[in-house]
Amino acid sequence: MATSEYRSVLTQRIIEQIEAGTAPWLKPWDPIRIPDALPVNAVTNRPHHGGNRLWLDCQGSPDSRWCTCKQAQNESLQVRKGERASVVEYWQWQREELDAAGNKTHIVLDTPRVFYAHVFNVAQIDGVPELKLAAQDQRADAFNTHDRAERLMRRSGATVLHDQLDKAFYQPHADNIHLPPKAGVYQ
């Protein structure tokens, strides 16, 4: 994938979500300030930055953790057959070389190189441990249920999952609704 193609796809996705009123930065509540709510590498726990963070947020995935197929395999995890990856780009600004003594040295590149990685959300991977809930007192506000709304949701037959850190969305391909947890926050 060329850099211009990647950016065009990202830009188009952002425009579509803005027009639909579903951009990942729009929320009807005060956001919970938890670093893990942002897309991170599931193996290294390093956060994704810039356009990659925005792109992965736009995917509407039920978990903030992402990794490559190779990373999953190295952790004895398996990407489910038929799952589709999301492409992220990263830039190499320097490279490592061994000097005459066998020591690693970092060589700054005159022109940085762009690379692309195909990443999967952990919801697409078998064997990944679930996120655990922390104590309720870490949450700025308690979850307030409205009995009438809860009854309506139960009667609708909709699959509602309280499995998000700080997002709420409908996932069309799975036909389910994802919301933040009713009690506590993920840690």
Burial of 151-178, coded b for 16+ CB within 10 Å and e otherwise, reads: eeeeeeeeeeeebbbbbebebeeeeebb
Single-letter residue type at 117: A
pTM: 0.58
pLDDT single digits (tens) 146-175: 787 778 778 888 888 887 776 778 888 788
First to last CA, the chain: 35
pLDDT single digits (tens) 133-151: 544 444 444 556 678 777 8
Burial of 9-45, coded b for 16+ CB within 10 Å and e otherwise, reads: ebeeebeebeeeeebbeeeeeeebebebbebbbbbee
Query: Taking the domains of the chain in order of start, what are their residue ranges?
Result: 3-129
Phi, psi of 164, deg, nearest 5: -110, 150
pLDDT single digits (tens) 108-124: 989 999 999 999 999 99
Residue 3 confidence (pLDDT): 67
